[in-house]
Amino acid sequence: MSTLAQKKCKPCEGGVSPLTAGEVASLIKGLNGWSEIEGQLSKTFEFHNYHETMAFVNATAWISHREDHHPDLTVGYKQCRVNYITHAIGGLSENDFICAAKIDALFES
């Protein structure tokens, strides 16, 4: 498990700057298959069927609730796209990367 996945999100109500491009580039190296697209951290997960997709959505919702940091999800029959951004600062924060790492950890065995 990555060190990001072992961290806990910190409350963010604004008043701090988003991560710089260099910070994003450094943190994204610790994730598996995530991309920075239009200022958001994004990844599409593929599944065998709808049941697996919905199990993933529910696990993601649980992680998001525990971290109090919620992504935008686009759900299809056999896929789910996850987009993270810290809305309070209008950009990416370490919280986005922590949650992405926790989601990646769902697939580690």
Q: Report the alpha-carbon distance of residue 101 to residue 23 in Å, rounded.
A: 16
pLDDT tens-digit readout, 82-94 = 999 999 999 999 9
Q: What is the pTM of this model?
A: 0.93
Q: For tokens 């769902």, what's the residue?
A: 106
Considering only CA atoms, give the Rg of the chain: 13
* Domains observed in the chain: 38-109 (3.30.1360.20)
Q: Report the alpha-carbon distance of residue 4 to residue 26 in Å, rounded.
A: 12
What is the Cβ-side half-sphere exposure of residue 32, based on CA atoms within 13 angstroms? 12
pLDDT tens-digit readout, 32-87 = 999 999 999 999 999 999 999 999 999 999 999 999 999 999 999 999 999 999 99
